[in-house]
Chains A and B, each alone.
Chain A
Amino acid sequence: MAVKIVTDTLSDITSDLADELGVTVVPLYVRFGEKIYRDRVEITSEEFYRRLVNASTLPSTTQPTPHDFIEVYQRLAEETDEVLVIVVSSKLSGTYSSAMQARQTISGKCRIEVVDSLTVAMGEGLITIAAAKAVKAGANLNEAADLARRAVSRSHLVAYFDTLKYLAKGGRIGKAQGLLGSMLSVKPILTVREGEMAPMTRVRSLSAGLDYLYNFVAGFKSIESVAVEHATTPDVADRLVERLGSLVPKENVYRSVISPVIGTYSGPSALALTVLEAEK
């Protein structure tokens, strides 16, 4: 029986692609005031960002419960005896621990492996996609889990932020703390390092930011795939994809949207770019 792949909504894999690859996506939660929504299920990205910009109090987020994972595991256990779960960095979210706790309650024949991606957004998404493709090509659980774990160190996420306000308020700023407090208006560029947000550099304008992202991709010798994501500026992300055409074949470039739970921290106008380096 084929391995089933599970990830969370923070992987930013579009629902079309998830269907195509047979990946189950477990939603996190985003809360506006009293109301709690399942990420990308009960609130679309478009609606989320519209409300984020106008919100008087900022939204907050919650990880999936172990119960959410138990339900998914039980359903999949009826179809298969091998499940691979790839989740957002355990240093950014408690999703990993929910997935692990749920795993202990599933007894019987179904084997479940949980991989901590140590990254987020398409950084996590490209790892998941690579594992799903391997499974399609016939990989078993051990092989797919091994491939995913090796891909963790090859997945490089950089994000352009219009502001660090949301990240700082949400308490996820990590080592990028040092970029706060600038007296000039600057656009920070961050990365994920050892599972946490870390500073990369700063630019003064969007176009300088786009140049930086382009040069970031150009700096890699051998690329398996690239992903470009936007929050509220699809046309800007499209332009970047266009430019990247000279570096990476179009079919290896994924296009996605920063999901509401991540948007809570990235804020509007953010852009995310991931490079999955080819394996040597």
Chain B
Amino acid sequence: MFAAAASWLEKSSAEIDALNVFPVPDGDTGTNMMLTMRSTMEEAYRAPDHSAAGVALAMARGALMGARGNSGVILSQIWNGLSQGLAGKEKFTAADLADALESAAIVAYKGVSNPVEGTMLTVISDAAAAARKEVEAGSEDIIVVLEATVSAAATSVERTPTLLKVLKDAGVVDAGGQGVYTILEGALRFLKGETEQMRLKKPQIIVSDLPYTASLTQTAGVDEVPYGYCTEFLLKGEKLDPEVIRKRLEKKGESLIVVGDEAAVRIHIHTLDPGAVMRFVTRLGTMHQVSVRNMDEQHQDFLEMQKERMPVTDTAVVAVASGDGLVDIFGSLGAAAVVPGGQTMNPSTKDILQAVEATYSDKVIILPNNKNIIASAEQVQALTEKKIKVVPTRSIPQGVVALLAFDYEADFKANADIMAKALESVKTVEVTRSVRATRINGLRIKRKQPIGLLDGKLIAVGDTNSDVVEQLLSRLELEKAEVLTIYYGEDADPAEAEDIGATLTGRYPQLQLEVIRGGQPHYSYIISVE
């Protein structure tokens, strides 16, 4: 049954590979799972007896010995859990299968230092839950239980992109999850006697019908760059303690997985210093199947691959913004990346550099969108080989008009000029709350009172947001303005925003007015007047 599942998986390993997204640094999940399964099955055939427990134990052993990559190691833990669940059983029933799957899910989660949802872990646990439910509903037929399991796994795979942003951005389902589904489905087909059809057909890759979202290279500013080395090996020795080894290695890198038993432990880690990891483990035993791969190189290959899919222009724009609405707006207008940041949370030069490096172009225009970020943005040029221009946008409205002015037919330098020139055409109105009581520009301001800025200058204070907006806009010749856009912040009331918009439309019918959620912190309103 599991042999059939393994060969079923082999058929789709290439498609599963194609589902990979960076930064899932093992870019060959399908192949890794297939090779792990091969080793699993080789061992299974060598099982000392044909009891369920004996075969499962042999499989777990084989999986551990042959596990490759992140996905392979987790898969080996699934077999390990399955064998624990079947311990002592001669044969297994529907209820035993549910128990075994549950145990598989538990052990798989335990093997990973930081379990992530939206991966094969989610799929195996959803599958196990479905099996349990079916058994509790009274099913005794193992096929019926496995059918429920497979169908739950399919649904689970389909939903992986909703759980994991990298999948959503890439528009794919999780490769490891797809692998788990394929194995379970293969087993089911075998039990149903469909071995003949399996030889002719290929497994199906689940397609998630999520709406296409702009492929925005969101950089979260996490310390994932540089990626370092993906290091994995099997450690053989005596009286090994996976728990102790895990604790010792935790500080040495990311994506750590340590699984195994007293005699053999498989280790997978992304580390900047593979030498340190190896020096530590060689004191405990001998290393086998050693693999050290440079992930930065893999990342480069990935970027090259992405390049071919990109449209005409060779210039990318990187913008700084905070607030989910504003991030989406910049993305929808074509920014290649949006660096989180703004007032009181200025991104570092390194954060911006990281976004610049992540774009597919070697010419990058940066929109800092805040006067305190312009200087950091200007530092980027010194740190990269890419050509950089900073258009000194001092506010979100300036950033938006600059990005809109981007000319697809113009070259890099001309575009920077065109975008810089566009800044003159917009006025920025901002409403926030005073952090302390003060006197400034002839205004007496109480703590937490709404205050208003026009092009960065504090000129209004009032009791309500609407009052402050009113004061600010009275300074502008709105009867001559054409476009007014209100971006309301995370703590602003959408109804209040609509009211302000409606009042303005009533007073200035020629205005083309838009009220849109910016979701920005600190600023209740950012208003752009063109």
Chain A residues in the interface with B (C-beta under 8 A) = 175, 177-179, 181-186, 191, 193, 198-205, 207-208
Q: How many residues of B contact A (CB 8 A)?
A: 24
User: What are 12 of the A-B contact pairs (CB < 8 Å)?
Assistant: A178-B311, A184-B332, A184-B485, A184-B514, A185-B514, A191-B409, A200-B407, A201-B408, A203-B404, A204-B401, A204-B404, A205-B482
- Are B512 and A201 in contact, with the CB atoms below 8 A? no
Chain B residues in the interface with A (C-beta under 8 A) = 214, 311-312, 328-329, 332-334, 400-401, 404-409, 425, 482-483, 485, 512, 514, 516, 530
Interface of B is mostly: mixed
- Are A175 and B483 in contact, with the CB atoms below 8 A? no
Instruction: List B contacts of A205 (CB < 8 A).
Output: 482-483, 512, 530
**In the assembled complex, how far is the CB of residue B60 from the closest CB belonging to chain A, in whole angstroms?**
48
Choose from A183, A193, A199, A208 the contact partner of B482 (Cβ within 8 Å). A208
Query: How far is A207 from B425 in the complex, measured between Cα atoms in Å?
Result: 12
Other 17 A-B pairs with CB < 8 A, given A183-B328, A205-B482, A208-B425: A178-B311, A182-B333, A184-B329, A184-B332, A184-B485, A184-B514, A185-B514, A186-B333, A193-B312, A193-B409, A198-B409, A200-B408, A201-B404, A202-B404, A203-B404, A208-B482, A208-B483
Query: How far is A193 from B311 in the complex, measured between Cα atoms in Å?
Result: 13
Instruction: List B contacts of A204 (CB < 8 A).
Output: 401, 404, 482-483, 512, 530
- Are A198 and B408 in contact, with the CB atoms below 8 A? yes
Query: How far is A205 from B516 in the complex, measured between Cα atoms in Å?
Result: 17
Query: How far is A177 from B407 in the complex, measured between Cα atoms in Å?
Result: 15
A-B CB pair tally, cutoff 8 Å = 59
10 cross-chain pairs, A with B, having the tightest CB-CB distances, nearest first: A183-B332, A204-B483, A205-B482, A199-B408, A183-B329, A201-B407, A202-B404, A182-B332, A205-B483, A181-B332
Instruction: List B contacts of A175 (CB < 8 A).
Output: 311-312
- Are B408 and A207 in contact, with the CB atoms below 8 A? no
- Which residue of chain B has the shortest Cβ distance to A191 in the bound complex? B409
Instruction: List B contacts of A200 (CB < 8 A).
Output: 407-409
Instruction: List B contacts of A177 (CB < 8 A).
Output: 311
- Are A184 and B333 in contact, with the CB atoms below 8 A? yes
Query: How far is A184 from B483 in the complex, measured between Cα atoms in Å?
Result: 11
Instruction: List B contacts of A203 (CB < 8 A).
Output: 404
- Are B406 and A201 in contact, with the CB atoms below 8 A? yes
Instruction: List B contacts of A191 (CB < 8 A).
Output: 409
Instruction: List A contacts of B530 (CB < 8 A).
Output: 204-205, 208
> Given A178-B311, A178-B334, A201-B407, are A184 and B328 neighbors across the interface (CB < 8 Å)?
no
Instruction: List B contacts of A186 (CB < 8 A).
Output: 333, 404
**In the assembled complex, how far is the CB of residue A219 from the closest CB belonging to chain B, in whole angstroms?**
10
- Which residue of chain A has the shortest Cβ distance to B331 in the bound complex? A183
Instruction: List A contacts of B425 (CB < 8 A).
Output: 208
- Are B516 and A184 in contact, with the CB atoms below 8 A? yes
- Are B516 and A201 in contact, with the CB atoms below 8 A? no
Instruction: List B contacts of A181 (CB < 8 A).
Output: 214, 332
Instruction: List B contacts of A201 (CB < 8 A).
Output: 404-408
Instruction: List B contacts of A184 (CB < 8 A).
Output: 329, 332-333, 400, 485, 514, 516
**In the assembled complex, how far is the CB of residue B527 from the closest CB belonging to chain A, in whole angstroms?**
13
Query: How far is A207 from B333 in the complex, measured between Cα atoms in Å?
Result: 20
Instruction: List B contacts of A199 (CB < 8 A).
Output: 408
